[in-house]
């Protein structure tokens, strides 16, 4: 069930920051009045093969915080590895602590899956969300390409089932949005994300130290936000043609 407010009141915190070398993962351990909270900042690509954050590093940061009552995860990520994103999602879903997720800039691709692990999900007013079909590269015979194509379809179906579980979309609706523009997918601003049930609240900019990562070139020019937001008419047409499932 999606909630707009955390079960634990926001405490006034004393921070102890931990940084993982050479990654975009930073955490802050907070404790006040017996309430333990860990803040995680996912400000990088997902997956060590892309030079980003691995599930191992992600899990180690959570473990290093010890017993906590709440995990606050702030996301500004272009995504990356499907499998690593799903692993992070499952880690958060299995956590005993309440999980509060906020998108501060971008939650794209695999990062959109990680975002959905939150018991409470928020997006900053000026942030963006993107979902798309999984990508991969193959070399080999026609049979090799056919096998990879079947696997990509399987990955897409699994991701769509996660979207269905946590949003107001059916799996079929999610897959149609993922497959738009030959698999490049669909971009949403914060208001569109809340309408479709990806998040429960749109927030004002968070007052904290800036965590900025340059994602230019990761998606390529045709996937830039300015280019993708030009597809609003096409997206709205889809939304009018498909009634959203009731909760």
> Radius of gyration (Cα) for the chain, nearest Å?
18
Q: Which is catalytic among the residues 27, 109, 112, 190?
A: 109
**DSSP output for 55-74:** HHHHHHHHHHT-S-SEEEEE
The first and second tokens of residue 214, run together, are: 């340059």
H or E stretch at 133: none
Residue 211 appears among annotated catalytic residues: no
Residue 47 to residue 80: CA distance in whole angstroms: 6
pTM comes to 0.75
**DSSP output for 64-124:** HT-S-SEEEEEEEE--B-HHHHHHHHHHHHT-SSEEEEEEEEEEETHHHHHHTT-SEEEEE
Q: Which is catalytic among the residues 81, 132, 166, 190?
A: 132
Residue 132 appears among annotated catalytic residues: yes
| Range with lowest mean pLDDT among 76-85, 86-95, 176-185, 217-226 | 217-226
Tens digit of each residue's pLDDT (9 = 90 or more) over 114-167: 999 999 999 999 999 999 999 988 999 999 999 999 999 999 999 999 999 999
What are the two backbone dihedrals, phi and then psi, of residue 206, each rounded to the nearest 5 degrees?
-80, 135
Tens digit of each residue's pLDDT (9 = 90 or more) over 181-190: 887 899 999 9
Tens digit of each residue's pLDDT (9 = 90 or more) over 160-202: 999 999 999 999 999 999 999 887 899 999 999 999 999 999 9
Q: Which residues pair with 28 in a beta bridge?
A: 17, 39
Q: Is 70 exposed, middle or buried (0-12, 13-18, 19+ CB in 10 A)?
A: buried
What are the two backbone dihedrals, phi and then psi, of residue 224, each rounded to the nearest 5 degrees?
-65, 155
């Amino acid at each position: 069930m999606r909630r707009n407010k955390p079960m634990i009141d926001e405490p006034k915190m004393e921070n102890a920051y931990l940084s993982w070398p050479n990654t975009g993962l930073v955490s802050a351990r907070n404790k006040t009045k017996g309430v333990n909270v860990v803040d995680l900042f996912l400000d990088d690509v997902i997956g060590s093969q892309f030079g980003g954050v691995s599930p191992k590093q992600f899990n180690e940061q959570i473990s290093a915080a010890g017993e906590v009552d709440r995990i606050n995860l702030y996301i500004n990520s272009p995504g990356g590895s499907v499998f690593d994103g799903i692993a992070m999602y499952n880690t958060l879903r299995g956590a005993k602590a309440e999980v509060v997720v906020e998108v501060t800039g971008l939650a794209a691709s695999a990062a959109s899956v990680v975002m959905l692990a939150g018991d409470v999900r928020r997006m900053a007013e000026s942030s963006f969300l993107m979902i798309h079909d999984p990508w991969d590269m193959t070399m080999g015979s026609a049979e090799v390409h056919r096998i990879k194509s079947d696997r990509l379809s399987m990955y897409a179906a699994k991701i769509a089932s996660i979207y269905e579980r946590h949003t107001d979309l059916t799996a079929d609706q999610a897959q149609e949005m993922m497959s738009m523009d030959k698999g490049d997918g669909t971009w949403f601003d914060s208001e569109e994300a809340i309408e479709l049930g990806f998040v429960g609240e749109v927030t004002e900019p968070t007052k904290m130290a800036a965590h900025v990562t340059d994602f230019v070139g990761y998606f390529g020019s045709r996937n830039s936000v300015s280019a993708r937001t030009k597809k609003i008419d096409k997206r709205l047409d889809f939304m009018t043609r498909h009634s959203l499932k009731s909760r």
